[in-house]
């Protein structure tokens, strides 16, 4: 068996409130380098996406090959959000994307060829991935503290694991900041001063499916939080999901199209509810240079009201990651 050298790459990039984007549309999360490139730098980490009003062009775009994917919630949910409420919110968030009907020249041609299923609650409360044993795509609320960017204002983080040569996603986890200063709301009409969990969940579901931030200001995938309007997909978001998960069962774009595999929501290498040993990608902070890697982890995160930028490299057992913050100030 061949073991792959791995590392974590962490970058924050956002949009300052009030900055005017262009209408270039949806962006795909990219691998950040070309297959076979001897330079292991993730070029998307330094790509100033919002300043250039363009998508990062480097490498391959990310996508799930499976026709369906499963996710789980950590069983404790949050002090602010019950497990049953969290289940309802995240089922609706993913369903908003997968219920999209696609059109050709104004004529409906069918629903996107992707489903996301809830597999139940799990014990595991770590962001991790096991190359050789069962996994879970877990959503975790962090009530006791936030170890990532700007703990007083960051709202969430999504980590997506992918193959650097093909862009094919193998797993994804989400973290929701329940310790930040603004309360999470599951109400149809969130009270003043609260943040709408369904809007956060729908945006993060887009990252889970392989999308980066849109340059369209009313898009769910726009980098700046604007409230309950993010619960529903804009035409830009719908165009994106239809381009990647086509009704004809082809996934990807351009010459990277592949036929969707048979629907099986089981996570990579099987499903388990407990954490694996020594596979967490959390903690640490020692900066290291990138190493040779055949598989990667990419974290797409959402900047809501202000921009932060930082770069952190940490050595891992299995993957590379890019993270962007959700700032809720």
Does this model's pTM top 0.85? My answer is no
248 domain residue, yes or no: yes
Long-range Cβ contact pairs of 252-260 (< 8 A, separation 24 or more): 252/61, 252/63, 252/167, 253/28, 253/61, 256/60, 256/61, 256/63, 256/166, 256/167, 258/65, 258/168, 260/65, 260/66, 260/67, 260/113, 260/114
Q: Which distant-in-sequence residues (6+ apart) come within 8 Å of 165 by Cβ?
A: 31, 35, 36, 60, 294
122 domain residue, yes or no: yes
pLDDT of residue 254: 65
pLDDT of residue 224: 78
> C-alpha dihedral over 50, 30, 304, 14, to 10 degrees?
-40
What residue spans of the chain are helical by DSSP H?
49-52, 83-98, 197-208, 235-244
pLDDT of residue 67: 94
Distance of CA 242 to the CA centre of its chain: 17
- Residue 198 belongs to what domain range? 25-34+49-282
pLDDT of residue 298: 47
- In this predicted model, what pLDDT tens digit does every residue of 159-208 receive, in sequence order? 999 988 889 999 999 999 898 878 999 999 999 989 999 999 999 999 99
| Residue 89: φ, ψ to 5° | -65, -50
291 domain residue, yes or no: no
**Helix%, strand%, coil% for the chain, nearest 5:** 15, 25, 60
pLDDT of residue 257: 81
Q: Write out 39-87 in H/E/C secondary structure.
A: CCCCHHHCCCHHHHCCCCCCCCECECCECEEEEEEECCCCCCCCHHHHH
Q: For the domain that residue 66 is a member of, what is the CATH number?
A: 3.40.390.10
Question: CA 150, 127, 275 angle in degrees (round to 5)?
Answer: 145
83 domain residue, yes or no: yes
Residues in the chain predicted with pLDDT less than 70, given as ranges, are: 1-24, 48-52, 153, 254-255, 277-329
Q: 10 Å Cβ neighbour count for 21?
A: 18
When divided into structural domains, the chain yields a total of: 1
85 domain residue, yes or no: yes
Distance, in Å, from the CA atom of 2 to the CA atom of 45, rounded to the nearest integer, reads 28
| Residue 158: φ, ψ to 5° | -125, 125
Q: 265-298 burial, b if ≥16 CB within 10 A, otherwise e? A: bbbbeebbbebbeebbbeeeeeeeebeebebbbb
End-to-end distance of the chain based on CA atoms, in angstroms?
47
- In this predicted model, what pLDDT tens digit does every residue of 47-61 receive, in sequence order? 765 556 788 888 999
Task: Enter the tokens of residue 239.
Answer: 């165009």
301 domain residue, yes or no: no
pLDDT of residue 61: 93
Distance, in Å, from the CA atom of 178 to the CA atom of 217, rounded to the nearest integer, reads 26
Q: Which distant-in-sequence residues (6+ apart) come within 8 Å of 256 by Cβ?
A: 60, 61, 63, 166, 167
The residue count of the chain comes to 329
Task: Enter the tokens of residue 65.
Answer: 């090959």
pLDDT of residue 121: 98
Angstrom CA distances, 141 to 14, 82, 124, 152, 255, stand at 22, 11, 12, 15, 38
313 domain residue, yes or no: no
Q: Which distant-in-sequence residues (6+ apart) come within 8 Å of 246 by Cβ?
A: 102, 112, 113, 257
39 domain residue, yes or no: no
């Amino acid at each position: 068996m061949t073991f792959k050298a791995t590392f974590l790459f962490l970058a924050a990039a956002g949009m300052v409130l009030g900055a005017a984007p262009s209408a270039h549309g949806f962006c795909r999360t990219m691998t950040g380098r070309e297959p076979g490139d001897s330079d292991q730098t993730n070029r998307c980490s330094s790509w100033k996406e919002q300043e250039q009003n363009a998508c990062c062009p480097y490498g391959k775009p990310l996508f799930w090959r499976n026709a369906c994917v499963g996710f789980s919630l950590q069983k404790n949910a949050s002090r602010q959000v019950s497990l049953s409420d969290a289940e309802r919110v995240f089922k609706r968030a993913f369903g908003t994307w997968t219920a999209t009907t696609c059109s050709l020249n104004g004529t409906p041609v069918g629903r996107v060829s992707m489903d996301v299923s809830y597999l139940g609650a799990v014990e595991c409360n770590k962001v991790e991935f096991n190359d050789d044993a069962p996994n879970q795509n877990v959503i975790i609320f962090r009530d006791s503290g936030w170890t990532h960017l700007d703990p007083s204002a960051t709202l969430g983080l999504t980590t997506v694991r992918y193959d650097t040569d093909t862009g094919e996603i193998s797993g994804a986890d989400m973290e929701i900041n329940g310790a930040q200063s603004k309360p999470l709301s599951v109400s149809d009409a969130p009270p003043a001063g609260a943040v709408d969990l369904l809007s956060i969940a729908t945006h993060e579901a887009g990252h889970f499916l392989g999308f980066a931030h849109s340059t369209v200001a009313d898009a769910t995938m726009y980098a700046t939080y604007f409230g309950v309007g993010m619960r529903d997909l804009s035409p830009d978001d719908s165009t994106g999901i239809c381009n990647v998960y086509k009704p004809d069962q082809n996934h990807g774009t351009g010459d990277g199209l592949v036929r969707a595999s048979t629907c099986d929501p089981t996570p990579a290498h099987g499903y388990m509810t407990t954490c694996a040993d020594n596979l967490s990608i959390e903690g640490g902070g020692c900066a290291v240079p990138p190493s040779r890697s055949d598989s990667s982890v990419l974290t797409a995160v959402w900047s809501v009201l202000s921009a932060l930028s930082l770069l952190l490299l940490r050595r891992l057992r299995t993957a590379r990651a890019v993270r962007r913050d959700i700032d809720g100030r």
